[in-house]
Amino acid sequence: MRFVLAMLAVLGLGAALPASAQIVESNATGRATPPATTDAENLWLLDLSTGGRVTIWLRPDVAPKMVERIKGLTRQKFYDGLLFHRVIDGFMAQTGDPKGDGTGGSPLPDVEAEFNYLPHVRGAVSAARQGSAPGATAEVRTAAENSANSQFFIVFSPRLSLDKDYTVFGRVLSGMEHVDAIPRGEPPANPARILRAYIAADNPPPFTPQAATAPALPAGEKEVVLPGTAPSN
């Protein structure tokens, strides 16, 4: 089934401030304490083909199962090379599907819904799941709500109508400009991709830009290799 978001959701109110300027935590009684924004075990790093590294603050205090899934798949290199297959201007960029068309996921079981109080504001990172048609039975709705797996989306602009209907499990702390640069489309004509994904506690190397691809030579032509250099492929 295709993992989609409700297309009829209306935009939330308010200006789209930088993600790092919007982090506001409540001290409400009974809520688990979130990890520090400097806790390397809960910082997810995505190196994007759009030119830089995105740092995402993971929130195991509100979505422990989804955060555990993200960490496990990241450490298995599952996300390396995956495309942003569905990118809607003014809404969100979606990725995490190895098939690249929105129909796939990991070999692991689906993750139960962990709907929480975190809003779908700019920079929010939320789990994609199957949708259910208006008027669907409670059984169908529940199955859809519990269908998150590996796909996720990053919000460009507030979409508060998704609150408590999708599992927000993180927030962009830095590098949102690289998310903004992701080409739009369903699918994009020239999609961006996750080059590499890391958990910061694993001591990842610095961001390395994507290597340029050498242009193909016309049929019948041979590459000229200068002394002391190597062929391009």
Q: What is the pLDDT of residue 1?
A: 44
Q: Which domain holds residue 122?
A: 40-202
Give residue-wise pLDDT tens across range 106-154.
999 999 999 999 999 999 999 999 988 889 999 999 999 999 999 999 9
Residue pair 182/130 in contact by the 8 Å Cβ criterion: no
Residue pair 192/139 in contact by the 8 Å Cβ criterion: no
Residue 32 placed within a domain:
no
Give residue-wise pLDDT tens across range 41-91.
999 999 999 999 999 999 999 999 999 999 999 999 999 999 999 999 999
Residue 111 placed within a domain:
yes
Residue 11 placed within a domain:
no
What's the rounded Cα separation, in Å, for the pair 48 and 63?
24
Q: What is the pLDDT of residue 177?
A: 98
Residue 34 placed within a domain:
no
Residue 15 placed within a domain:
no
Residue 117 placed within a domain:
yes
Q: What is the pLDDT of residue 219?
A: 52
Q: What is the pLDDT of residue 19?
A: 46
Q: What is the pLDDT of residue 212?
A: 57
User: How many structural domains is the chain composed of?
Assistant: 1
- Work out the average pLDDT over 3-20: 39
Report the 10 Å Cβ neighbour count for 79: 23
Residue 212 placed within a domain:
no
Q: What is the pLDDT of residue 13?
A: 33
Residue 128 placed within a domain:
yes
In the predicted structure, residue 25 carries a pLDDT above the cut 60: no
Q: What is the pLDDT of residue 213?
A: 54
Give residue-wise pLDDT tens across range 178-194.
999 999 999 999 999 99
Domain at 134, CATH number: 2.40.100.10
R_g of the chain, CA atoms, integer Å:
19
In the predicted structure, residue 224 carries a pLDDT above the cut 50: no
